[in-house]
Structure 1
Amino acid sequence: MLSTNQPFILIVDDNPTNLSVLSQSLKSAGYKVRMAIDGEDALAQVERNHPELILLDVEMPNMDGFETCRRLQANPATESIPVIFMTALTDTENKVKGLSLGAVDYITKPFAETEVLARVKIHWRLKQLTDNLAHQVAERTQALRQAQVQLVQKEKLSALGQLVAGVAHEINNPIGAIVGNVSAIQDYIQDLLHIIDLYQEKLPQPGAKIENELAKIDLDYVRADLPQLIRAMRDGGDRITSISKSLRTFSRADSDQKLYFNIHEGLDSTLLILKHRLNANEQRPAIEVITKYSDLPEVECFPGQLNQVFMNILANAIDALDESTSCLSYQEIKSQHPEITVRTFAEDNYIKISIHDNGKGMSEEIKQRIFDHLFTTKAVGKGTGLGLAIAKQIVEQTHGGNLSCQSIIGEGTEFIIEIPS
């Protein structure tokens, strides 16, 4: 007897005796059996419930076995069902015709029950092997696709990290020299102005030539303006130092072990790097970024990879706000108030980061595919369709978290990143 998970077989024959004999033999062998009396009946039954194998008589009224087989093979949903012809037509021409239509075997009438059972067993086993092979191919293809995404992600992260770290290093050295010398320059200038004051005190009448030069340079204006210039230099240096620090934070090299990381530092460094994209342009006003940070503990994670997730989602939010004004008039654009709200909070043993834009939102169809490999709504050359797929992999597979998306047409889109705390 066969195991209870054996398939059912559809027997198609217009001869009641053949149906009865075959049905009893197959049932005795442990198969589930259904019967049809002609081709049309067979097609109707197959449409309702696909059998794993079909024993099909060739000579039948209304629709013969050849036409039935042709229709089965023409349907993608049924083309993989093995068909074994049963016929008294033993000439080569009919055998070739049947096999060319997609049948896997021939049984000649009158048939022996043992031969039928043997052939059914062989072709059922072949179908199992074929299905298993197809399943393995699909699994390997999916695994290969995931490996490709992971490889691209690692290469992008490595290249970006090296580039950003290199730029930060090159900036750090000269800006360190500038910032470090600003205070000394301020002291030197104060000393020089003090000397000038002493000269004016000891030589109240320096002569026409010196007085003309003092009038040209407007010493009083220089004295008032120099501190402001020095302050501006110091502020500019501090600004560049802050950018350099943000670049180093963003490009932190991940070790094989997770590190404890301040999520807010990662978000702030990413926002600072993207600051130039937040400024007003010809298409829209400046994008306002609203941060609502809760008091969070440091999270054990791979900081560089999480920063990449922040970068991708924030850059997509900016793209969405750019697109939301692309078809508006000048007056409509002026009335827009593009915003990105970044909110962090702890909930249910997770650290959650919400990134919400008030753009035009996404349709349900696009939202369902937004994390698919190679899916993108951007124009050719502007998106690869890897960004969000990689982001989801980093959050869910690497960190055991969850990345989800909520979007309403006309109200905007929100991505929620959840990382175990």
Structure 2
Amino acid sequence: MTKQTNGTSKILIVDDNPTNLGLIFEYLTDAGFKVLVALDGESAIEQAEYSQPDLILLDVMMPGIDGFKTCSLLKANILTQDIPVIFMTALCDTADKVTGFNVGGVDYITKPIQPTEVLCRVKTHLTLRNLQKQLEEQNEDLLQSQAKERQRALELEETLYKLQQTQTQLFQADKMSSIGQMVAGVAHEINNPLNFIYSNLCLANEYTQQLLELVKIYHNNYGNSHPEVTEKIEEIDLEFLEEDLPQMLKSMKVGAERICQIVLLLRNFCHIDEAHRKLADIHEGIDSTILLLQHRLKAKAGKSRIQVIKEYGNLPKLRCHPGQINQVFMNILVNAIDVLEEGDGETIQEPNNLPLPSCSIPTIKIKTEVIENEFVIIRISDNGSGMTEDVQRRLFDAFFTTKPVGSGTGLGLTISYQIIVEKHKGKLSVNSEIGKGTEFAIEIPLNQEGKGRQNKAEDLTLPSLKTRGF
């Protein structure tokens, strides 16, 4: 250690003997150290707290508190506990040395004092102290580096999550846009011929009635005047024709009206050109979704027809994004149909543990209700094969799917979760058990803006509870 380096180190000498104190002070000062002195333990503690020396040379035998007690107090003080202490003593018993080490000393200098020995031990322990500080600083740097790496990992994870969210939102927007365009195109193409048919059915019915009245008048006045006429009347069964033709036209009108309703349901499913929240009838959304899935519910070769049972409660209209809510219904119902197509289904249990009728038929049950005038709950259950706990835990993770490669994106339920939880402040949960089916519960608050739960009277005038099969 050079003199310049020595000059950066402070040493506190504690000794009640002026001769020893002066000797060590002079020798260490000449060696380039900054030296402080104290004559007893109490002043040594005060000096150490204030000056923060790099090393303390401490006499054992002193008036007042001795060196061992002084060292104990220094090591108990958070401000001085890390300062190395070298004892100076004429005591050479092993027991005394052990006591010194036990209270925190790092070394012994035996009296009478040999300056060269003091300098050598001081340099050695200052070197050890400096190395210890360097190690602590390196450890601190390492900890900070690890903390930065953890922070970077968290930031990367958050970025990945945001990217996944963006991807799912883009996927949803593209999917809904495609469906919306398809529905708009179908509705437009159907509407043109439908309007032509529906508007002409009224005229056709009117013209038919006029012709039938004319035939009736002719028949009453000239019905038996010519054998050929009589033969033709019998051939076409005029009496049946007069009765059936109006009924046929009426049925055609009912069919045209049904097509109009289907077009309306198709438009309601995606709510074309409606990007903002609006009051919507949840039941209409469910019905329009089921209508789009009719082809999946019908019986196929080797597969039974899938029965849909609806238990609709008295729901108020809900302020929401109707198209997005319908997308949630679509995703959940499609998953239920996929599961039921894999087998014939098991028994669905009602809350009172009684099986539903026709339990051997693959069944989807949809139940709606209002809870405490605060939440609308839509429960969609199936009597399929159910899911394991591991699948349930990962069900809403992006890109997770149990379907074969190419059969699913793993985004449907992730998108549904975002729609219900993030956009509508609700809750989407699943309850499933192997062999006993699966139930999804969609919970949406009636008041999502926190402005109170006041509903207009006209929003509450809906049909009472009804149960019907589809």
The normalised TM-score by structure 1 is 0.68
Contact 1:283 1:322 in 2 (8 A): no
Is 1:258 the equivalent of 2:277? yes
| Residues 322-348 of structure 1 deviation map (CA, whole Å, 9 limit, x = unaligned) | 11239xxxxxxx983122111111114
Give secondary structure in 2 for the equivalent of 1:382. Answer: coil
Q: For residue 347 of structure 1, what is the aligned residue in structure 2?
A: 371
Instruction: Select 1:379's aligned residue among 384, 401, 404.
Output: 404
**In 1, Cα distance between equivalents of 2:359 and 2:427:** 36
Give the equivalent residue in structure 2 for 1:336: 360
1:415 aligns to what?
440
- Cα deviation, residue 171, structure 1: 1.5
Shift of 1:145: 0.9
Q: 1:30 to 1:395 in 2, by over 3 A?
A: farther
Secondary structure at the aligned position of 1:416 is classed as strand
SS at match of 2:342: helix
Residue 242 in 1 paired to residue 261 in 2?
yes
Give the 3 Å change call, closer, same or farther, for CA 151–204 of structure 1 in structure 2: closer
Residue 163 of structure 1 deviates from its aligned partner by 1.5
Q: Output the CA distance in 2 between the equivalents of 1:212 and 1:255.
A: 62
Q: 2:304 aligns with which of 285, 294, 298?
A: 285
Equivalent position amino acid for 1:289 in 2: V
Equivalent in 100, 117, 125 of residue 144 of structure 2 = 125
Q: What amino acid sits opposite 1:258 in the alignment? A: R
Q: Distance in 2 between matches of 1:28 and 1:135?
A: 36
How far off its partner does 1:30 sit? 11
Q: Quick one: distance in 2 between partners of 1:335 and 1:313? A: 21
- Give the Cα separation in 1 of the matches to 2:80 and 2:382: 64
The answer (yes or no) to whether the contact 1:358–1:413 under 8 Å persists in 2 is yes
Aligned twin of 1:92: none
In the alignment of these two chains, the number of paired residues is 314
1:369 aligns with 2:388: no
Deviates more, 1:282-291 or 1:383-392: 282-291
- 1:139 alignment partner in structure 2: 158
Distance in structure 2 (CA, Å) of the matches to 1:30 and 1:236:
94
- Counterpart check, 1:160 vs 2:179: yes
Q: Decide whether the 8 Å contact of 2:184 with 2:272 is kept in 1.
A: no
Query: Contact between 2:277 and 2:321, CA under 8 Å: does it hold in 1?
Result: yes
How far apart are 1:416 and its partner, in Å?
0.5
2:382 pairs with 1:357: yes
The SS at the match of 2:319 is strand
Alignment match of 1:404 (pick from 421, 426, 429): 429
Cα-Cα RMSD:
2.9
**Secondary structure of 1:378's partner?**
coil
What percentage of aligned pairs have identical amino acids? 41
- Match for 1:350: what amino acid? F
Residue 435 of structure 2: SS of its match in structure 1? coil
Query: Where does 1:297-336 land on structure 2 (aligned, <5 Å)?
Result: 297-325=316-344, 336=360
Unaligned runs of 5+ in 2: 1-74, 83-127, 346-357, 447-470
Q: Distance in 2 between matches of 1:182 and 1:136?
A: 66
Deviation at 1:201, TM superposition (A): 2.4
Distance 2:230 2:361 in 1: 56
Counterpart residue identity of residue 241, structure 2:
V
Contact 1:293 1:345 in 2 (8 A): yes
In the alignment, residue 151 of structure 1 is paired with which amino acid? L
Separation of aligned partners in 2, 1:256 and 1:383: 27
1:251–1:179: structure 2 CA closer, same or farther, 3 Å change rule? same
1:359-410 deviations in whole A, cap 9, x for unaligned?
2212222222221111112222221111111011100001000001111222
Farther-moved stretch of structure 1 (171-180 vs 234-243): 171-180
Distance change >3 Å, CA 127–CA 360, structure 1 → 2 = closer
What secondary structure is seen at the aligned counterpart in 1 of 2:431?
strand
Say if 1:30 and 1:371 are closer, same or farther in 2 by CA, change over 3 A.
farther
Give 1:218 shift. 3.4
- In structure 2, C-alpha distance between the alignment counterparts of 1:134 and 1:360, rounded to whole Å: 39
Secondary structure, aligned partner of 2:191: helix
* 1:179 matched to 2:203: no
Contact 1:254 / 1:303 at 8 angstroms: preserved in 2? Answer: no
Cα distance in structure 1, aligned partners of 2:260 and 2:81: 79
Distance 1:30 1:173, change over 3 A: farther
Determine if contact 1:254/1:302 at 8 Å carries over to the other structure.
Answer: no
CA contact (8 A) 1:362 1:408 kept: yes
Kindly state the Cα deviation for residue 216 of structure 1 after the two structures are TM-superposed: 4.1
Cα distance in 2 for partners of 1:212, 1:256 equals 66
Residue 220 of structure 2 is matched in structure 1 by 201
Q: Are the aligned partners of 1:162 and 1:251 in contact in 2 as well (CA < 8 Å)?
A: no
Question: Does the Cα contact within 8 Å between 1:352 and 1:417 map onto a contact in 2?
Answer: yes
